[in-house]
């Protein structure tokens, strides 16, 4: 103790003071013992209300502006993945239905939509966008009910983004000449579009918005397990008065999609889904005068350098692989972490995973919802089993998960290598493989060592490294210090077996138009 300005206190006095204080402390501890124990605090169930949401138990097809009657002889079920119970029934479109839909789209194209002014097409697209915003809560609940994704995501990401894509392409509808200077821009005609089950309404927006903006009409097939928001979207189209036949919806399994791809009345096929199906579509349209865009699988690398902001990088992993239960084609499913920080990153990641809440998609606190279908759940389990057989070590977060419905715990597979099947193939679930690297070049080589090339992520505090590595990664998207960020102005698409063509941005218009050199305009 240093000098005192108010003079020294005698030792005995000090001793006495301390004694009194010690007694006081003991007393006060006694008094406050129960109140200073850490509490166990669990978030109570916070369910999103479903009272305001209505949907039919049975749906027909939406062709030429009207719903056909539900046909029990061609029925298929759609279940709620959170419970495994029946949600609604749809009509499976057969070859004849597909033909009717394509013809309706052709008629609408030739008689009206293909030749009206761009500003009028824009007007309809703006209406769609506004109506989606107005009914956002309803669509969010339906998306979570049907697909199993957490309400937090459908509310904050899927539906707002879907509206944003309609707003964005509405703006282009009357400005196509500016998108392609010195070219004569004409629509293609009828577009066949097939979308996946991971982002049902958002993928619908990615497909329909640019197609309509460019003056095409559409026959769209949603995924077998997630037709609900697409069907609801058709009701919305009726409400806003979109001319009949401009958008037609045919529900059904892969077979329905095949009818659509093989129909000779289509001018364009846009597909988002697996690489296997994408290859089959390429074969089917070979030799036919059909434009195509394919957005297929991926096995994105998530590269963490030792100079990265590790806490944010770990949070980024959560967004990269546990977002939408890992049902994301551009998911960062391969973690590549520099050896110097690997242990700490894995430790931090495990801590973070312990706070993830897996469960009821309609609970506002749920981070990871239900796996989309029993089939997909089996696939994920099969891959994890293969990983274990190959010698991987598995870490899964603890905590309760519902006993019914399709759920899979967020999973880490460590002790895997480039030659492991789980590192090479797309799992499409909440499963992250973890590998380490020593040098920048090794990270680039490992990231590129895959048939896929959809998206990769780089985490470093060094701007120069982002450009150095980013320019060498062979993928359509490279995110730096973030992951799984989408914006209507940004093109999205794959290298290699992850697909061809771009969706989004001004680049996303090109696959939906014919371009002719317009020499006069050039002069």
Tell me which residues touch other proteins (CB under 8 A). Answer: 1-2, 4-6, 18, 21, 24-25, 28, 31-32, 35-46, 152, 156, 307-309, 311-313, 315-316, 347, 355, 364-365, 461, 481-482
Q: How far is the CB of 46 from other proteins (least distance, A)?
A: 4
Length of the chain counted residue by residue: 523
Angle between helices 440-448 and 463-470 (to 10 degrees): 40
Task: Give 135 or 152: the residue with its C-beta nearer to other proteins.
Answer: 152
Task: Give 365 or 381: the residue with its C-beta nearer to other proteins.
Answer: 365
Distance from C-alpha of 22 to C-alpha of 479, rounded to nearest angstrom: 58
- Return the number of other C-beta atoms located less than 10 Å from residue 230's C-beta: 24
Cα separation values, 427 from 165, 293, 346, Å: 28, 23, 20
Q: How far is the CB of 398 from other proteins (least distance, A)?
A: 13
Task: Give 238 or 311: the residue with its C-beta nearer to other proteins.
Answer: 311
Task: Give 39 or 523: the residue with its C-beta nearer to other proteins.
Answer: 39
**414 burial level (CB within 10 Å; 0-12, 13-18, 19+):** middle
DSSP codes joined into one string, 206-231: HHHHHHHHTT-EEEEE--TT--HHHH
User: Which helix (DSSP H) or strand (DSSP E) does residue 192 occupy?
Assistant: strand 190-194
End-to-end CA distance of the chain: 89
Q: How far is the CB of 344 from other proteins (least distance, A)?
A: 9
Distance from C-alpha of 206 to C-alpha of 436, rounded to nearest angstrom: 36
Assess contact for 141 and 130: CB atoms under 8 A.
Answer: no
- Neighbouring residues of 163: CB distance < 8 A, sequence distance ≥ 6: 129, 130, 132, 133, 136, 205
Task: Give 215 or 332: the residue with its C-beta nearer to other proteins.
Answer: 332
Lookup: tokens for 461: 């505090």
Distance from C-alpha of 364 to C-alpha of 362, rounded to nearest angstrom: 6
Catalytic member of 90, 234, 329, 397: 329
Q: How far is the CB of 504 from other proteins (least distance, A)?
A: 21
Catalytic member of 138, 143, 153, 295: 295
Q: Give the distance from CA 363 to its chain's centroid.
A: 19
CA-based nearest residue to 220, from 190, 240, 244, 199: 190
- Neighbouring residues of 126: CB distance < 8 A, sequence distance ≥ 6: 166, 167, 170
The number of C-alpha atoms within 13 Å of 426 and in the hemisphere containing its C-beta is 26
Q: How far is the CB of 161 from other proteins (least distance, A)?
A: 16
Q: How far is the CB of 42 from other proteins (least distance, A)?
A: 6
295 labelled catalytic: yes
Q: How far is the CB of 120 from other proteins (least distance, A)?
A: 39
330 labelled catalytic: no
Tokens 């074969």, residue located = 283
Task: Give 152 or 232: the residue with its C-beta nearer to other proteins.
Answer: 152
- Whether the CA torsion 239, 240, 246, 250 is positive or negative: it is negative
Task: Give 143 or 267: the residue with its C-beta nearer to other proteins.
Answer: 143
Residues marked active site are found at: 295, 329
């Amino acid at each position: 103790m240093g000098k005192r300005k108010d003079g020294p206190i005698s030792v005995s006095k000090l001793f006495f003071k301390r004694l009194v204080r010690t007694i006081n402390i003991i007393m006060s501890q006694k008094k406050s013992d129960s109140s200073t124990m850490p509490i166990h605090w669990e978030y109570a169930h916070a369910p999103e209300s479903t009272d305001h949401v209505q949907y039919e138990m049975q749906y027909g097809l939406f062709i030429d502006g009207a719903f056909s009657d539900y046909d029990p002889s061609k029925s298929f079920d759609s279940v709620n993945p959170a419970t495994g119970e029946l949600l609604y029934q749809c009509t499976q479109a057969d070859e004849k239905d597909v033909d009717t839909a394509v013809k309706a789209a052709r008629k609408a194209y030739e008689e009206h939509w293909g030749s009206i002014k761009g500003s009028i097409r824009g007007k309809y697209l703006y209406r769609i966008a506004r109506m989606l915003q107005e009914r956002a809560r309803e669509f969010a609940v339906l998306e979570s009910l049907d697909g199993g994704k957490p309400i937090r995501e459908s509310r904050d990401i899927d539906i707002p983004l879907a509206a944003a894509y309609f707003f964005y392409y509405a703006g282009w509808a009357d400005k196509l000449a500016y998108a392609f200077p010195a070219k004569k821009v004409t629509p293609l005609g009828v577009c066949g579009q097939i979308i996946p089950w991971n982002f049902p309404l958002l993928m619908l927006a990615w497909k329909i918005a640019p197609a309509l903006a460019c003056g095409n009409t559409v026959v769209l097939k949603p995924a077998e397990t997630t037709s609900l928001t697409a069907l609801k979207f058709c009701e919305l189209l009726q409400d806003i008065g979109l001319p009949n036949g401009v958008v037609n919806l045919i529900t059904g399994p892969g077979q329905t999609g095949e009818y659509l791809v093989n129909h000779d009345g289509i001018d364009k096929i846009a597909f988002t889904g697996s690489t296997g199906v994408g290859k089959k579509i390429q074969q089917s349209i070979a030799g036919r005068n059909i434009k195509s865009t394919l957005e297929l699988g991926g096995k994105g690398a998530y590269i963490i350098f030792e100079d990265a902001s590790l806490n944010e990088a770990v949070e980024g992993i959560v967004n990269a692989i546990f977002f939408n239960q890992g049902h994301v084609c551009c998911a960062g499913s391969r973690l590549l972490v520099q050896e110097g920080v690997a242990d700490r990153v894995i430790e931090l990641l495990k801590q973070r995973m312990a706070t993830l809440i897996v469960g009821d998609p309609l609970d506002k606190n749920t981070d990871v919802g239900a796996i989309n279908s029993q089939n997909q759940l089996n696939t994920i389990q099969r891959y994890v089993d293969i990983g274990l057989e190959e010698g991987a070590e598995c870490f899964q977060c603890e905590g309760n998960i519902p006993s019914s419905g399709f759920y899979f715990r967020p999973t880490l597979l460590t002790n895997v290598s480039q030659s492991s099947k789980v590192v090479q193939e797309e799992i499409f679930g909440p499963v992250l493989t973890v590998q380490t690297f020593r040098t920048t070049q090794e990270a680039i080589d490992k990231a590129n060592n895959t048939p896929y090339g959809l998206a990769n992520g780089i985490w470093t505090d060094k701007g120069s490294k982002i450009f150095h590595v980013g320019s060498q990664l062979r993928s359509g998207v490279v995110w730096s210090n973030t992951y799984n960020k989408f914006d209507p102005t940004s093109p999205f698409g794959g290298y290699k077996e992850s697909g061809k063509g771009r969706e989004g941005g001004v680049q996303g218009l090109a696959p939906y138009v014919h371009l002719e050199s317009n020499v006069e305009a050039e002069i």
